[in-house]
Amino acid sequence: MKIIVYGLGIIGGSIAASLKRAGHTVLGKNRSREPIDYALSHNFIDGEAKELAGADVVFLALPPKVAMRVLDEERFSKGCIVADICGVKEPIERAVYEKERAYRYVGTHPMAGKETTGITSASADLFRRANFVMTECEKTDKEAVEIIRSLALDMGFARIVLCTAKEHDRMIALTSQLAHIVSSAYIKSPLAFECVGFTGGSFQDMTRVAPMDDVWAELFLLNREALVPELDRLIEGLSAYRAAVEKGERDDVLALIREGKRFHDEFFARNGGK
């Protein structure tokens, strides 16, 4: 199968490397030259793609607005499967189906990454045992979904979830976008500059995803319908803790702690400890 990966950052580079290792013919396309040279020298790709026509499958590892422009303007071979990997799905799906397309679209979201970015952080093993989300609607080609599912397994993903674009965006608002916002807000405490020698695992966990690039602003704004209610719920929960601590009533604080533990334990019971 001939596959083109457009956008050779950490995710695009890892898609290319894992699919090439699985035996597929993989070409890379990128707006700047350095990632192409790196991918070639590290055997992530078989060659450079000058255009997107001629591929069986194209993965768009691009920011949302760029991906939407490519999906609308680029020439793909008739019947080609085109899959974006953006962290928001409903606006992209809506843009794709505004008119008839010669290609077959499947929305995807690899649930993996690192604190670092760029192709130098890419790896053929990045997706090992990770989750992979695919989205579908009544217009989605079923054969295309199954082909992308097979490629996800080739990449090393362990769990593949198929859902609507709306459900994806609702879930990702909590599991990814809100987590990044919390981390970014948390690290802004003035005490953070004085905490050397006082940190442990909890501080590291809370600050790990604080460094975000500009793409996250696109994700937050494109998904604001789902993200704002999650922000409201978080603010409400923090306000309850603030009121209980300020009041100084041990029973009120204990009630909140025990409620949080109950939700935590129920989540892990429902999800097999994962």
**Same domain assignment for residues 6 and 129:** yes
**Same domain assignment for residues 140 and 180:** no
**Same domain assignment for residues 15 and 132:** yes
**Same domain assignment for residues 203 and 126:** no
**Same domain assignment for residues 132 and 254:** no
Indicate which CATH number applies to the domain containing 179.
1.10.3660.10
Contact 18, 124 (CB under 8 A): yes
DSSP secondary-structure letter at 175? I
| Tens-level pLDDT at each residue, the chain (274 residues) | 899 999 999 999 999 999 999 999 999 999 999 999 999 999 999 999 999 999 999 999 999 999 999 999 999 999 999 999 999 999 999 999 999 999 999 999 999 988 788 999 999 999 999 999 999 999 999 999 999 999 999 999 999 999 999 999 999 999 999 999 999 999 999 999 999 999 999 999 999 999 999 999 999 999 999 999 999 999 999 999 999 999 999 999 999 999 999 999 999 998 875 5
Q: Domain range for residue 174?
A: 168-270
**Same domain assignment for residues 15 and 75:** yes
Domain C-terminal end among 99, 133, 164: 164
**Same domain assignment for residues 42 and 136:** yes
Residues 6+ apart with CB under 8 A from 117: 9, 10, 213
**Same domain assignment for residues 115 and 61:** yes
**Same domain assignment for residues 234 and 141:** no
pLDDT of residue 262: 97
pLDDT of residue 274: 58
pLDDT of residue 271: 81
**Same domain assignment for residues 139 and 213:** no
Amino acid occupying residue 23? G
What's the structural domain count of the chain? 2
Contact 24, 81 (CB under 8 A): no
Residue 248 backbone zone (phi > 0: left; psi -120 to 50: alpha; other: beta): left
* DSSP per-residue letters across 105-143: EEEEEEE---SS-SGGG--TTTTTT-EEEEE--TTS-HH
pLDDT of residue 273: 55
Task: Using the structure block, give the residue that is written with the tokens 């025990």.
Answer: 258
Task: Using the structure block, give the residue that is written with the tokens 């802004």.
Answer: 188
Gyration radius of the chain's alpha carbons:
21
**Same domain assignment for residues 82 and 153:** yes
Contact 64, 215 (CB under 8 A): yes
pLDDT of residue 113: 85
What CA–CA distance (Å, rounded) separates 10 from 127?
A: 11
DSSP secondary-structure letter at 51? S
DSSP secondary-structure letter at 177? I
Domain C-terminal end among 116, 137, 164: 164
**Same domain assignment for residues 110 and 206:** no
Residues forming beta bridges with residue 81, ordered by sequence position? 57, 104
What CA–CA distance (Å, rounded) separates 150 from 143?
A: 11
Cα–Cα distances in angstroms (integers) from residue 120 to residues 14, 35, 237, 267, in the given order: 10, 8, 39, 35
What is the SS3 assignment for 78? Answer: coil
Indicate which CATH number applies to the domain containing 148.
3.40.50.720
Q: In what order do the strands lie in the sheet with 81-84?
A: 47-48, 25-29, 2-6, 57-60, 81-84, 104-111, 131-135, 159-163
